[in-house]
Structure 1
Amino acid sequence: MTETSKPGEGTPGGRLAFAPSNHPTVPPARVGVILANLGTPDATDYWSMRRYLNEFLSDQRVIDYPRWKWQPLLQLVILSRRPFSSGRNYAGIWDKERNESPLLTITRAQTDAVARALREAHGERIVVDFAMRYGNPSTESVIAKLVDQGCDRIVFFPLYPQYAAPTTATANDQAFRALMKLRWQPAFRTVPAYYDDPLYIDALARSVERAYGGLANRPEMLLTSYHGMPERYLSEGDPYHCQCQATTRLLRERLGFAAEEVRVTFQSRFGPEEWLKPYTVEEVARLAREGTKRIAVVAPAFSADCVETLEEIQGEIRHAFEGAGGEEFTYIPCLNDEEAHIRALVSILDRELAGWL
């Protein structure tokens, strides 16, 4: 073996062929993949929720007000009350048997499915894990674990189809901060937004077709409900709004629906600013008041069901529609670990792993 050989490809036990006999063993070189999602509290009690919300709402990618102005309000007012209401929302969807949130359960299932598919194609050289931007398992801990397993190259995959600074960018930020602490950094790639990926669009369309196929009456309107953001982010250059519109257009075309059958809306507004409109909760009530009796809602921006879908859409938004006179409300679950979704994720990863395997 020459000195140009890759680390770990030396003698049995992982010793480099050109290293002295007392050199520490080096694990065989591997390629790591990290699926990254938003995060989840460890439990639904006040202090668990406060820790989680503090980390989330202190992120200046999420709330970009000056810290001197925002932190006193956050610490003294918001975090004294919001952990109680958020805890109740999480408690309503919490998996008590596993003692974890659905987002954690689903992300783990997605990771296992992606790992199986990549292992079948590439063997044991690839290691797949998942990390959360807020909460556990932390991004830093997962990167350290992969490095310890010999991963000298890592693909970091934020599971956000549409790029946004408060989601994709902050996930990447956290990964880069972790890399800054390493003496020996792995080579590192981040996966770009996949809002228009044909297999992702097809997986979305299949989920809608499956849901519609199980209904006695076809919905009059399909709402694609995306997580919202302040309107000013759009004028400041964030492409999120445009990518959401593109996803819905491609989904509608794939389904063969008429333009008037599909509408883009935004949910999960927070704070006093104007956010992207129309707001889902207001739009469903307006449709019901104007005589629409049957609607379906799908959430293309969420790769896994979570509190925003299982509690907000299934609770607040459903109640707004029914309270205004709507009769049939259908929520179409996120893609989660559906086979078509895993196939899309693996296809994207194969593209991003090119040259490394």
Structure 2
Amino acid sequence: MQKTSSRLLSLLSLLQARRDWPGALLAERLDISPRTVRRDVDRLRELGYPVVAFKGPDGGYRLEAGTALPPLLFDDEQAVALAVALQVATTTGAGIGEAAARALTTVRQVMPARLRHRIDTLQVTAVERPANQPHPQVDSSVLMTLSDAVHAREVLRFDYASAIPPEATDTDRAELPPRRAQPHHLVTWGGRWYVVAWDLDREDWRTFRADRITPRTPTGPRFTPRELPGGDVAAFVTARFQGSDNPDSPGAWPCRGEVILDLPAAVVSRYTRDGIVEELGPNRCRLALGSWSWPGLTAAIGGFDADIEVIGPPELKDAFARLARRYAHAATDTPTRPPRNDEPRVG
């Protein structure tokens, strides 16, 4: 039979693994008697773990949330995963970088030597944005407020920074009516936090940047959740940030084209985030790529610095021609002629 201390750790690990444990099953898993299970449960309670007994045909025990945080038990994989997550927490934009660093120090101090060694050899470099591209920070209390509204299905009332004129005074801001939206999801994208919500005033789906939100209290009434277009929040957010509003084709860029590049497929795929690369030969490949605009797509393809054969569509070939004229003007001392009033501005 295990020693008492080892047995208590095994019992605690089981109680954390599922909500309800019949007493007889715990005794079987630990290879002890039901009476010993009861004694070990009492010992855990003395240590501060809120283990409660429940009645029923089988009868058993449940580890509930307590008013204080007792010592936690993690297996090796959980401990390593927690340490890695804390190392990259500074790039989440949630304003918890300092707290995450302190938590990582605390976790590391109580780890056995073999796990500390694994953590020390698995160093994750969390790269912040350059100084000229400041990483937007969101106050953790704002994130909790937004999360609570999503969970409670309550209308969110808030001020939105981009909707407030820069010259507005504090009095002007106070008199502005709040935005009203039904929050459905709190998501992250590219290091920023967003709320996916149904805008009650515009009667449409919107994605609001959390760092621009100042919640107002109290929240509004409860609402019945709507069905998100496409049904998948990840696909919906991806589509919105790629410029598509079509729920039947989530994730589609508004401008897509195909070209053949005189480069190995392995080289092109290394620098293509969401394009499709097909190998045509040792130094030749087909690339299908999307972008916000045709000039943007041509610029992205031109970045590969290789000979290009346009497969289609015609809009892509036209965009290459326009870009070629612009680059030709840029290569001369003659300034580019501004467009006439009857000419559209492209790009």
Q: Please give the range of the TM-score, normalised by the shorter of the 2 chains.
A: under 0.3
TM-score normalised according to structure 1 size: 0.20
Question: Which has the higher relative contact order, 1 or 2, with Cα contacts under 8 A spaced 6 or more apart?
Answer: 1
TM-score normalised according to structure 2 size: 0.20
Structure with higher helix content:
1
